[in-house]
Structure 1
């Protein structure tokens, strides 16, 4: 039987126009760890830059442990003021699918909750680049309808760090695609207070523990279940006020403020002598005052949150700073531990062992 010569795999992929994509994917697989800077905006928002599509479109997203999907603002959004305002720093970078050669969508719609409202739009797949990793056919939502509060925030979308159970059914999360590429299936989140400057004040480190910014003494805490970054808080103290109660807490890396039970908020207000600002709907204290440290017990271990991490300067008038807390009424979770806690203790999101670790930030000693 005569032998027939056939093209090798390289020739075949070149002919079909797939060889460049193959080389990029091979290079990406060689990267086992990586880090991504987080840009701090007034100590309320820590944003990571990602790229969607080919050619890439740059989008600033909040890395969020309370959700699992990736969604970005669509260039054709229809909500009022959805693209923000350049005058107040909320102008958005939007995603335009017509400018990308790697976009695909079958028209499936999505709707996910976001701060008292819903974000809605169309699901699709796209090339995603983050922290020098990149891959194709990442599921994401292109949002055309967003709640009013979103228009007031300097973010272009959300990249969820949560587990698959919280995702839109039938989709693969960013973490499901990223974790197999890494040396270890974990992420370290480090944040630092910026005192009003807008520049790099945090890092997300993928595939390894961040020994540069975080103490090597990591205390791991078991999760409430294997579907969320929830765990239990045992006790709380500030000044002479204390509360001992086992309650559910949720890590919230995308929240600049910390949610506490209403009775705890009352205790904080009393101990800090905070005054309610009816115009802005927040509690304030003079920026110049020294406020007491907070003690939070988790899994029997005390964690200290210094006032520099919970009193933030958001450019209020008359030398006032915001007390970065809000009251909660839910029992699950009762505590939403936002950036005040993250700035105090690096968060180690250990997907492989379904646990969360805390290590004191070297900048908070």
Structure 2
């Protein structure tokens, strides 16, 4: 029986599709190096609280969780015949799929890969009038039109997929992003453009053997970050996966019991919610709670709202422990302190700027997900976590 279980796990891992991910310089880092970060933050203040308030059950248009300042992992896909290659963020915090169109002639589009529809023999527009859509994000909107073409991800058999071709983007700061588009992996209710999201299409067309996907994100400049579609490679984590039920469909949201340091609760005292978000490299939380963490790790606020730490003290800083499902998930200082291009050590805890709605939701980005291998199980509406290798 034991051998049957082992063989089953091996067979399962062989059915999955691996998509390599590349760690790139974030938009925040590019803006900082070009002396434009302060201007950006003043012009486009970020407030994800409108997505996280108690109004989540109302019939509203869901939007992406972040302003894309901190996206750092991208993968390659191809669209069309012959295939055109694009760098996209595989994002658990949104559900739409878009890339720039050749008809977008403003600076942000011109600095990225643009899809040439006239060069693809399989390109199609929906019947009837051209349908334009506006996708709203924390850092500004993009406008485009809906089309479809042949999409290929990794070694998966290519298939026809609807997507948005952008013709306008909100501002020139998008020029500093290191990716071309976004491929959302959240629940379908978050899809602003409607239709069937990419992952749902994969499952419905039988392209994957299991209705789940997983992320392994490396740290310290190591290669090997990976998106796994349709299965789990158990060699990427240690111990057993601990499963947590999704509390609200839409985002990959779970119950967070508390946040502790050295056994003392420092935030989320009465329980709160956490969203696992591969599209962010920071941890976002309520203003007062994050400020308390900054004080505990001796982070000092700067003129551009960054919190800096003495690099000589980082090895002595405590673990920040997220208690989820009754288990401790410690995040060490080497994970939550980032050294920027100028050699400054920066805290990767970020506040939700507008606390008007008293949101109790945290956004756990790559700071957390580099430490823990994560599985997103749509079939059972649950998330699995285990220490990453």
TM-score category, normalised to shorter length:
0.7 to 0.9
Give the drift of 1:97: 1.3
| Mapped partners of 2:358, 2:252: distance in 1 | 15
Indicate if the aligned counterparts of 1:260 and 1:326 stay in contact, CA closer than 8 A: yes
- Structure 1 residue 188 and structure 2 residue 214: aligned? yes
Residue aligning to 1:41: 24
Indicate if the aligned counterparts of 2:90 and 2:279 stay in contact, CA closer than 8 A: yes
Give the drift of 1:314: 2.6
| Mapped partners of 2:359, 2:75: distance in 1 | 28
Higher share in strand: 1
Residue aligning to 1:75: 102
Residue aligning to 1:53: 80
Residue aligning to 1:117: 140
Stretches of structure 2 that go unaligned for 5 or more consecutive residues are 1-13, 27-69
Residue aligning to 2:320: 294
Residue aligning to 1:233: 256
Indicate if the aligned counterparts of 1:265 and 1:325 stay in contact, CA closer than 8 A: yes
Indicate if the aligned counterparts of 2:21 and 2:226 stay in contact, CA closer than 8 A: yes
Map 1:10-29 → 2, pairs under 5 A: none
Alignment length (residue pairs): 319
- Structure 1 residue 223 and structure 2 residue 246: aligned? yes
Residue aligning to 1:96: 116
| Mapped partners of 2:311, 2:157: distance in 1 | 43
Give the drift of 1:333: 6.4
| Mapped partners of 1:98, 1:283: distance in 2 | 48
| Mapped partners of 2:311, 2:123: distance in 1 | 48
Aligned residue for 2:108, secondary structure, equals coil
Residue aligning to 1:137: 160
Give the drift of 1:75: 2.6
Runs of 4+ off more than 4 Å: 330-333
| Mapped partners of 2:117, 2:287: distance in 1 | 44
Indicate if the aligned counterparts of 1:40 and 1:201 stay in contact, CA closer than 8 A: no
Distance 1:246 1:78, change over 3 A: farther
- Deviations along 1:76-97, whole A, 9 cap, x unmatched? 3244x3137xxxxxx4222221
Which of 153, 158, 162 is residue 177 of structure 2 equivalent to? Answer: 153
Residue aligning to 1:8: none
Residue aligning to 1:259: 284
Distance 1:166 1:144, change over 3 A: same
Distance 1:235 1:170, change over 3 A: closer
Residue aligning to 2:44: none
- Structure 1 residue 335 and structure 2 residue 362: aligned? yes
Aligned residue for 2:234, secondary structure, equals coil
Aligned residue for 1:38, secondary structure, equals strand
Give the drift of 1:192: 1.1
Map 1:309-324 → 2, pairs under 5 A: 309-315=335-341, 317=342, 319-324=343-348
Which of 89, 93, 112 is residue 62 of structure 1 equivalent to? Answer: 89
Indicate if the aligned counterparts of 1:241 and 1:271 stay in contact, CA closer than 8 A: no
Stretches of structure 1 that go unaligned for 5 or more consecutive residues are 1-30, 85-90
| Mapped partners of 1:176, 1:237: distance in 2 | 37
Question: How large is the RMSD of aligned CA atoms in angstroms?
Answer: 2.1
Distance 1:331 1:38, change over 3 A: farther
Distance 1:216 1:286, change over 3 A: same
| Rg comparison, structure with higher value | 1
